Structure 1
């Protein structure tokens, strides 16, 4: 499912909100970290977990900050809220 962030009237950012079953949970190694981190695989790319949000407005703000810095993101819908994930180009599967 693709959502539409409209935090600023002059800005329209497309991002994906994924539901369970459309991605695969995994762990990845990242450069500079000794232990693997929680991640998801989607579209042949790996995304590390950034933060859990209980409401959509907070998730929008968090997503917007990363997008403004040039980071591709995904949001996943879970029963109690949303999880923000960021693309990790240097990830290796654990």
Structure 2
């Protein structure tokens, strides 16, 4: 599983896919964003919604791209596909 203190260590390893049941759904407020954002809370960190993907391959490609750009990301599985989430260090829970 993903350690909260270490982002994905290697670009060659695919981003793990978590069950939606393992995370807490919530809303967060981000700096310079007037409306609350859909988010998840996992191991003490808040992750903002990025995008829904119907296929694992596309979701993992986008997650890998964001990881290469220095972002800490999670993928969660839902009945119709996967959701990509990005860590938001400045998030404020509602």
What is the TM-score of this pair, normalised by structure 1? Answer: 0.85
| Aligned residue number for residue 79 of structure 1 | 79
| Aligned residue number for residue 16 of structure 2 | 16
Please, what is the CA RMSD of the aligned residues?
1.7
Q: How does 1:1-94 map to 2 (within 5 A)?
A: 11-94=11-94
More strand by share: 1
- The runs of 5 or more residues in structure 1 that have no matched partner are 3-10
Q: Find the structure with the greater CA-based Rg.
A: 1
- The runs of 5 or more residues in structure 2 that have no matched partner are 3-10
The count of residues paired between Structure 1 and Structure 2 equals 87
Structure 1 runs (4+) greater than 2 angstroms displaced = 13-16
